[in-house]
Amino acid sequence: MQRSRIAVAAAVVAAAGAAVAFTLPSMAGTAPSAGKAASAKSDVAPQILAAMARDLGVDSDQAAARLKRSAWASGVSAKLRAQTGADFGGAWLATDGTTLKIAVTDSGSVAAVKQAGAVPVLVKRSEQALVSAKEKLDAADAGKRITGWYVDVATNKVVVVATPGAADAARQWATNAGVKSDAVTVKTSSARPKTLADIRGADAYFIAVDGGTARCSVGFSVEGGFVTAGHCGAVGDKTFANAQGTAQGTVAASVFPGNADMGFVKVGAGFTPRAVVNDFEGNELPVAGSTEAPVGAAICRSGSTTGTRCGSILAKNQTVVYPEGQVTGLTRTNVCAEGGDSGGPWLSGDQAQGVTSGGSGDCTVGGETFFQPVNEILATDNLTLVTQEGSGAGGGEATDSAESAGDCTDQQVARTGDIQAGAAQAQPNGGAFRANAGRQTACLDAPAGADFDLALQRLTDRGFRTVAEATGNGDKTLSANVRSGTYRYVVVASAGAGAYTLGFSAP
C-alpha cells in the first residue's frame, strides 16, 4: 500500500456542508555581526526570507541577518538565565531586531551580560517575581471586561488587557489578586476573544463532532503523529485524513482551555510524519529543530487561508480569556491571521516555535495572533519532533547515568562546592533559575570514592519537586525534557565528602 504523508501545514481542502466546531479564538560570547548574513541565508528557505522581506520591510540579506542574530540571542539568553539565576529579569531583542537586552536585578551581574555581548538593563523585579505576579492573576476571576494578561520583560511589569472603559476596574482586579500597583500596566483594546468559522491552518484533518464534521489542521510532525491545537478534539476522538472518511488516527492528548491549547494526534499505519511545512505556494519549508526564539525576534507562520505571514514576537506566557475559559502560556505576536489559519505551524528560520491558537484582525488591516509553544507540547506529552536531519528534538524520559561525567565545565554554567557527608547543596549558589521548555543537561564531577547524588527540581505551588535524578557511585550525567519554569539542582552527599563540580545547560 502506498504510504500517505503528513505534510506539516498543508493545503486548503474545501468540504461542502462541513460543520466546523473547532475555531480560531480571536483577539484583537562575541556577538555575531547583524549585518553579515551569508551563512544564515544559506541555511534558511528562500520562501521564509521572501515572506519576512514582504512583511517586515527588509531585504533578504537583512532578513537572514535577523534570523542569525535571533539564533545567537537564544543561546546567550539561555546561558545568562542559568548563570544569573534569581537575578535574571528577562531577555528581548530591541525593535531593530539586533540589539539583545538582558534585564538583571543585581548590578553584580552587569559584567556577565556585557561579556556575553548583550546590553544590561537593571530592573526592580526578577523574571520569577513577574511570573509569580502573573500566576496570582491566573488564579483570579477576571470577569468579562478583562481579556488577557502577560509578562512584559521590557517594561518589567505585568500587562493587563481590558476593554475600553474598564481600565480602573482592571487595576482594582489586579490589586485584589495581590499584585502591587507599581508592577501592573493596564492597556485597553476593543478586540475580544471569540471564535471564527472554517479553521484549518495546515493539512486539514476531520473529526466527527456534534452530529457534523469539524475540520482542523496539522501543526508539526512528531514521532507517531502530529501536534496541533488542543481545541481541535478531545482525547479519544477519531480523526480522518479527508472528508470522505479515510481513517487517520486518534486524539491521544488534548488540553483546552486551562494551562495550554495543545493536542497530539497519534496516526495509524500508512501515514508517515514528515519534517516539512507547506508555504501554500508549492514549496515545502524544512523543520530542523525547536530552539525557542526570544521576545523581539522575527517569526513566520503558515496557514491555509493566508499562506505564509511574518512579524515579531511581542510577549511570552500570555493568558488569553476565551469564551470556553482562559488559556495560559501563549506567545503573543503581531503576525496577521484569519479564519482558516488556526492550528498551523510557526517557524523562526527552520526552528519550530508553536501552533496557532487564536488571533484578531485580518491580513488586510493587520492584527495580533497567539500561538501555543511547541516545546511545551513536546515536554508535556513526551513527544519527539521530526526534523530534516532525521534526529528528533524534545521528548524522551529523564535519564541518568553513573558513567564518567567528563569535563563538566563544557556546559553553559559551571558551579563548584564542598559538602559534608549527609548534607545537600542547591545550585546555582543556593538559589534557582528560570528555564524555557526543552531539554536540560547536567554533569556532576564528584570526589573519588564518594557517593554524590544529583537531582533536578522544579518549583511548584507545593514547593520544589524532583523531576529527574541521577544516583549511584561515581560521577553523574543527567538529561531531562521539561516544561518551562523555575528550577534548581541539588547535590546530595549520600556517602563521603569533599569538593565537586556541577555543570548544567538549559534551553
Residues serving a catalytic function are 231, 261, 342
Q: CA-to-CA distance for 426 and 428, rounded, in angstroms?
A: 6
Residue 55 cell numbers, joined: 512583511
Q: Are 207 and 239 in contact (CB under 8 A)?
A: yes
Nearest of 241, 245, 262 to residue 253 by alpha carbon: 262
Q: CA-to-CA distance for 397 and 383, rounded, in angstroms?
A: 10
What is the rounded end-to-end Cα distance, in angstroms, of the chain? 41
Q: Residue 381: in which H helix or E strand, if any?
A: helix 374-381
Largest CA distance in the chain: 72
Residue 202 cell numbers, joined: 495546515
Contacts of 180 by beta carbon, 8 Å cutoff, 6+ apart: 133
* CA distance readout (Å), 170 to 9, 48, 133: 38, 39, 14
Q: CA-to-CA distance for 395 and 212, rounded, in angstroms?
A: 34
Q: Side-chain half-sphere of 411: how many Cα atoms within 13 Å?
A: 25
Q: How far is CA 252 from the centre of its chain?
A: 21
Q: CA-to-CA distance for 357 and 75, rounded, in angstroms?
A: 26
Q: Are 403 and 475 in contact (CB under 8 A)?
A: yes
Q: CA-to-CA distance for 185 and 127, rounded, in angstroms?
A: 16
Q: CA-to-CA distance for 189 and 208, rounded, in angstroms?
A: 36
* CA distance readout (Å), 124 to 91, 107, 189, 191: 15, 11, 27, 31
Residue 475 cell numbers, joined: 560521577
Q: CA-to-CA distance for 452 and 471, rounded, in angstroms?
A: 7
